Amino acid sequence: MSFEQCHRIASLMSGFNKMWFFAGGWAIDLSIGRETRQHQDIEIALFRKDQLYLKEYLNEWDFKKVVKGTFHSWNNEFLELPIHEIHALHKSNGDRLEVLLNEATDSEWKFRRELTISHPLMSVWSYSDTGIPYLNPEIVLLYKVKNTREKDHQDFIAIVDKLDDQRRKWLRGAIQLHEPEHKWLQFLT
């Protein structure tokens, strides 16, 4: 249960006064409380409205926005949908960080691929036993239903039996709306 990379990023983000949380496979592992597989990258998520605060906070980092799969310089413009992915590189030590922008209103998180899918805002993230914020697993898994890779399936298998009935029901409904033929639906009954 090392989570060394997560602790390093949590330390880096400790002075950032906006909500942020780990996403992707690291979020699944933080929820479980142990590392279940190797991770090639590290992703954090934050709300779209806070993107420029992050850029100012990480002023020793170079940022690129991803537009249709291609990296472009990110000046100080406010990034709107469909842009949701930012890559950051520390100018001196070479550390890398992927940042995923999440949609939200004052009371709800919105799924950027299908804005009719929502979740109460205050129940989108949790904290690990050591105080590290992570995107809740049902939200992470919803992002993984499009173009599901082997590592995504590994994450699903690792967490599905740990989801309570409410989280399973929400995930099932969201997948039915977004990817109604997805193979994970059979495990969420």
> 99: closest CA among 141, 139, 62?
62
- Residue 189 — very low, low, confident or very high, per pLDDT cuts 50/70/90? confident
- pLDDT at residue 131, rounded to an integer: 95
Contact between 26 and 43 under an 8 Å Cβ cutoff? The reply is yes
- Residue 123 — very low, low, confident or very high, per pLDDT cuts 50/70/90? very high
- Residue 142 — very low, low, confident or very high, per pLDDT cuts 50/70/90? very high
Reported as half-sphere exposure (CB side, CA atoms, 13 A), residue 142 has a value of 29
Query: Which residues are CB-neighbours of 182 under 8 A, at least 6 positions away?
Result: 145, 148, 175
Q: How far apart are CA 23 and CA 46, in angstroms?
A: 9
- pLDDT at residue 40, rounded to an integer: 87
pLDDT at 48 over 50: yes
CB atoms within 10 A of CB 29: 24
- Calculate the average pLDDT of the chain: 95
Q: How far apart are CA 55 and CA 137, in angstroms?
A: 26
Q: Torsions phi, psi of 62, nearest 5?
A: -95, 140
pLDDT at 20 over 60: yes
- pLDDT at residue 80, rounded to an integer: 97
pLDDT at 26 over 50: yes
pLDDT at 151 over 90: yes
**What is the rounded average pLDDT of the residues 104-118?**
96
CATH number of 4-137: 3.30.460.40
- Residue 107 pairs in a beta bridge with none
> 111: closest CA among 48, 29, 183?
48
Contact between 45 and 54 under an 8 Å Cβ cutoff? The reply is no
Query: Which value, to the nearest 10 degrees, does the dihedral of the CA atoms of residues 5, 8, 11, 17 take?
Result: -50
- Residue 92 — very low, low, confident or very high, per pLDDT cuts 50/70/90? very high
- pLDDT at residue 32, rounded to an integer: 96
pLDDT at 89 over 70: yes
pLDDT at 1 over 50: no
Residue recorded with tokens 């993230």: 125
**What is the rounded average pLDDT of the residues 163-171?**
97
**What is the rounded average pLDDT of the residues 10-18?**
97
